[in-house]
Amino acid sequence: MSFKKAIFSGAAMVLTAATLFSTGVMAAGEVNLYSARKEALIKPLLDRFSEQTGIKVNLVTGDADALLKRLQSEGRNSPADLLITTDAGRLYRAVEAGVTQAVESETLRQAVPEAYREPAGHWYGLSLRARPIFYLKDKVSPGELSSYEDLADPKWAGRICIRSSGNIYNQSLVASMIAHSGEEKTEQWAAGLVRNFARSPKGGDRDQIKAAAAGECDIAVANTYYYGGMLTGKDESERLAAEKVALFWPNQSGRGTHVNISGAAVTAHAGNRDNAIKLLEFLVQPESQSWYAEVNYEYPVRDGVAWSDLLQQWGQFKSDNLNLSQLGKNNSSAVMIMDRAGWK
Ligand code: FE
């Protein structure tokens, strides 16, 4: 072999190694994610995942119900490997629609408390959202408040703002009450609550807090992250409205405050199943958990992860440890009860 040729074959070997390496990266492959969370609330985390693993994440974001419909209509041809969405009621619908599959992972089982994952592994919670009571500081003292049940007491007549029964957050709250107290008691409660409405339900959670601040009602029910968003957002009027109310954690002497999750499910026909599980496992790592909870003003689903400063200000609370798959199971009963109670 001539000297020149030796150099050439040396270069070829370097080239082969480089090719091997790049196929190695390519073999890490990709994962296709359908996310009901907005890009800004998840993309930085996905980028970090890609940096660490070499796995490319193809992200499709959209409305939660639209993404589920899309998964159903795509069927086996769906490119999606993982679905991220909010509310256990929606995750239950995805399971019922047959678009998910059960996955087993010791990492996921260790990280996600039992209440916040589907028993067979069809979905896993990624963050916690609480749905407490907000009261107008000028009109109500926290000592007058106690539980969701108490909101049906006649003392609150004409004083409560809550969004419509078409909203899954309220359906899930009512579903949790069915799980704890049965349908009959829940129906009586719903009828009493509706009698106490300050107005016919309209708007989203933020609008209930704004209505209280504007003097339309004294009590609002809302998820904490809306309150957090109002307190820290750029909208001056929203901030002022949020500052007029305070947060009350209901049912602390009993089962705890109603909580829900954002969560993820591996799709039934995932072509990149292993990578989907890797991404799920990444999302429950402590660093991911603190970031994801913080940008969404939500709580980490995993124990032992530090809360953001804002969440710490709102204080520790006891959360209902009902398995959230119950929310989906009781959803249709909840909807019927709300309808019969006249909850618009
Ligand atoms: Fe929401």
Centre of ligand 1 to C-alpha 267, Å, is 23
* pLDDT for the residue numbered 27: 59
Same domain assignment for residues 82 and 186:
no
Could you give the residue ranges of the DSSP H alpha helices within the chain? 3-28, 43-53, 64-74, 88-96, 106-111, 168-181, 183-195, 205-213, 224-232, 236-243, 273-283, 286-295, 309-314, 325-329, 331-340
CATH at residue 163? 3.40.190.10
Centre of ligand 1 to C-alpha 141, Å, is 27
Centre of ligand 1 to C-alpha 18, Å, is 47
Centre of ligand 1 to C-alpha 39, Å, is 15
Query: 107 to each of 35, 47, 157, 282, 283, how far by Cα in Å?
Result: 22, 21, 49, 9, 11
Question: d(Cα 44, Cα 295) in Å, to the nearest integer?
Answer: 11
Domain range for 288: 10-129+260-306
Same domain assignment for residues 166 and 205:
yes
Is residue 5, in this structure, part of any structural domain at all?
no
Same domain assignment for residues 84 and 107:
yes
Same domain assignment for residues 18 and 142:
no
Burial of residue 98 (CB within 10 Å: 0-12, 13-18, 19+) is: exposed
Centre of ligand 1 to C-alpha 173, Å, is 14
Same domain assignment for residues 27 and 125:
yes
Is residue 313, in this structure, part of any structural domain at all?
no
* pLDDT for the residue numbered 28: 83
Centre of ligand 1 to C-alpha 87, Å, is 9
How far out from the chain centre does Cα 302 lie?
Answer: 13
Q: Which of 87, 42, 44 is nearest to 68 (CA)?
A: 87
Same domain assignment for residues 162 and 233:
yes
Centre of ligand 1 to C-alpha 335, Å, is 19
Burial of residue 121 (CB within 10 Å: 0-12, 13-18, 19+) is: middle
Sheet holding 160-161, edge to edge: 160-161, 219-221, 133-136, 245-248
What does pTM read for this prediction?
A: 0.88
Is residue 4, in this structure, part of any structural domain at all?
no
Centre of ligand 1 to C-alpha 16, Å, is 51
Same domain assignment for residues 227 and 138:
yes
Number of alpha helices (DSSP H) and beta strands (DSSP E) in the chain: 15, 10
Is residue 2, in this structure, part of any structural domain at all?
no
Is residue 311, in this structure, part of any structural domain at all?
no
Given a contact cutoff of 8 angstroms between Cβ atoms, the answer to whether 86 and 37 are in contact is: yes
Is residue 41, in this structure, part of any structural domain at all?
yes
Same domain assignment for residues 246 and 266:
no
Q: pLDDT in tens for each of the 344 residues of the chain?
A: 343 333 334 444 444 444 444 444 445 899 999 999 999 989 999 999 999 999 999 999 999 999 999 999 999 999 999 999 999 999 999 999 999 999 999 999 999 999 999 999 999 999 999 999 999 999 999 999 999 999 999 999 999 999 999 999 999 999 999 999 999 999 999 999 999 999 999 999 999 999 999 999 999 999 999 999 999 999 999 999 999 999 999 999 999 999 999 999 999 999 999 999 999 999 999 999 999 988 889 999 999 999 999 999 999 999 999 999 999 999 999 999 999 999 99
Is residue 167, in this structure, part of any structural domain at all?
yes
Centre of ligand 1 to C-alpha 6, Å, is 65
Same domain assignment for residues 186 and 272:
no
Question: d(Cα 189, Cα 95) in Å, to the nearest integer?
Answer: 30
Question: d(Cα 217, Cα 188) in Å, to the nearest integer?
Answer: 22
The total number of structural domains in the chain stands at 2
Is residue 250, in this structure, part of any structural domain at all?
yes
Same domain assignment for residues 287 and 147:
no
Same domain assignment for residues 197 and 336:
yes
Q: Tokens 């107290």, residue?
A: 181
Same domain assignment for residues 151 and 223:
yes
